[in-house]
Structure 1
């Protein structure tokens, strides 16, 4: 099998340059002539990228497989959260492309019939699983991949986005704009650490970052068990504070929708009175008034990657793999877009 090093030697460039060209890196500065030479040399030597080799292998294995999709949300609950619809659609579209059969199972209380999992070639579990539910999945799955969640330890295949890092970037950006009264509303992850109401990753990161910056105010961090009205109720409570936040970060876009309603009912303006930012970038986010600033998490790609990880297992991979996909802050009208003025020191901007 031809290697990147051999292509680099044939063209007279570095291996890193070849890798970036073949992976379509848009930031690479290279002449059109040299780029074309790399591509033509790779084609002449029948080079296939690791991603394409993996997909080619998967195409052969996927045909005729039965894959169980275990979801932690009931259908009605999933429809209320378009993010998880996206994850499921990514799984289904990848299975359809591979001509694999997919069986959907909902795990929201008592375990479903274990024979369904045991009769499947592999299982993709969507959502968070702890305790008995996690043990049940391990016990009855031949091969198991988690989508949008990574269990503790390093024994499981998983794919997710790093929302903690995304939260750090978002907080850093609004802080650089001059915001100091930064609020957060989220939900309680009751199964992960029942004794800690702030264990959810975005909430935990918010508290750590704000504390380190000397800005944490417990009145500006509100969480509750998730309900359809959580965003509305928590935002209304926080904005009734004698010293309310000037920017409100919500745990996901559904909560932001509720926060918008509370803000409008209270006669406040977005972003003049309170800016809003969130997570997920569900389709409706861009159509709100004003459009919602949000961290884009690649829901469908998470689902597709989960299926690819499962097929790699079926191909013989023995070492567990954790895939962390990147996120992007999409700046829209609910939060002023950051302006790059170079490095900014604390105190150089007027606090708001």
Structure 2
């Protein structure tokens, strides 16, 4: 019979790590690649875990997470139109499928979901940004709560997100190094807590902070839409805001858009104006949706790992159900993917 020690030696990890992976320990911090290597090696060597032996005897261990409620800040039509948020949801659903967990989805509306719906679930995952009142209400009625793609800035609430402020600053630093000087921004403002907070959105706030720090802030280069009512940043929004920037006497030489959908709308506005990308105006964006690489020219964009955010949200719930009593905030790294829509900075 194959032993855990033999699997550990083959993969190059400790026996304890192999044991925890093969017994689905939710508190274990390990890279997906290493986890997959352990599982595939165990399967190749025909190792039979205690859980599999239980299944063979008709005694499969039940999942701790039996019922999950997903609360989304978007309406269904807006979520479907945004591949990034579809990816977050698919990450949650795929992880729950492995756990045989029932999922109930609640999308954005003017009314809060039924309290009993949340209270009856093992855990709740909230996707996207919500107001302080909504956060407090959901927390009050949830046994275990995780925010995905949003950090409510509370030490005791679990969350998983990518740092959009950091990603924006990296973009701007690269654009400056590439020789761009007039950097336009297309994004959104928010009105989450009663009053419009024009610069509360993380990418927008980071853009303004960076421009002011560099002494180059020009409010004319800022084109914002109000998307705080539960709608996504769509192609037509990017098209309309890009036309506003193109109407300036002194146009930007590069446009940063808050997501790839808005970048596609920006492409159309530039092409209608007879402008070439990136010769006349460059474009750079966020999300790296599948179509980004097939645009003409292919779009330079920040890859945000939506499915990993969704999977990690489920793992955080499992940790809570296994006894973790402290809050945990997980940041998923982003990756800048350079394509032909923007000059790449010279190599250091």
Q: TM-score category by the smaller chain?
A: 0.7 to 0.9
Distance in 1 between residues matched to 2:209 and 2:19, nearest whole Å = 38
Distance in 2 between residues matched to 1:50 and 1:336, nearest whole Å = 48
Aligned to 2:334: 327
Alignment gaps of 5+ in structure 1? 1-6, 8-35, 343-352
1:213 Cα deviation after fit: 1.0
Coordinate RMSD, CA, aligned: 2.4
Distance in 2 between residues matched to 1:171 and 1:40, nearest whole Å = 44
Distance 1:244 1:193, change over 3 A: farther
Q: Does structure 2 conserve the Cα–Cα contact (< 8 Å) formed by 1:138 and 1:144?
A: yes
1:40 Cα deviation after fit: 4.7
Q: Deviations over 1:156-184 (max 9, x none)?
A: 00000001111111100110011111110
From 279, 283, 293, give the equivalent of 2:300.
293
1:192 Cα deviation after fit: 5.3
Distance 1:103 1:176, change over 3 A: same
Distance in 2 between residues matched to 1:238 and 1:41, nearest whole Å = 54
Q: Which runs of 4+ in 1 moved over 4 A?
A: 38-43, 57-61
Distance 1:126 1:188, change over 3 A: same
- Provide the secondary structure at the position in 1 that maps to 2:264: helix
Task: For 1:1-352, list aligned pairs within 5 A.
Answer: 39-40=9-10, 46-48=15-17, 52=21, 55-57=24-26, 62=63, 65-191=66-192, 194-226=195-227, 228=234, 229-340=236-347, 342=348
1:116 Cα deviation after fit: 1.2
1:39 Cα deviation after fit: 4.2
Aligned length: 306
Distance 1:275 1:55, change over 3 A: farther
Distance 1:67 1:54, change over 3 A: farther
1:235 Cα deviation after fit: 0.6
Q: Deviations over 1:98-141 (max 9, x none)?
A: 11111111232201222111110111111111133212211110
TM-score, normalising length: structure 1: 0.81
- Provide the secondary structure at the position in 1 that maps to 2:16: coil
Alignment gaps of 5+ in structure 2? 28-50, 52-60, 228-232
Q: Deviations over 1:19-48 (max 9, x none)?
A: xxxxxxxxxxxxxxxxx9x945966x6230
Aligned to 1:29: none
TM-score, normalising length: structure 2: 0.82
Distance 1:277 1:61, change over 3 A: farther
Distance 1:155 1:40, change over 3 A: same
Distance in 1 between residues matched to 2:171 and 2:24, nearest whole Å = 34
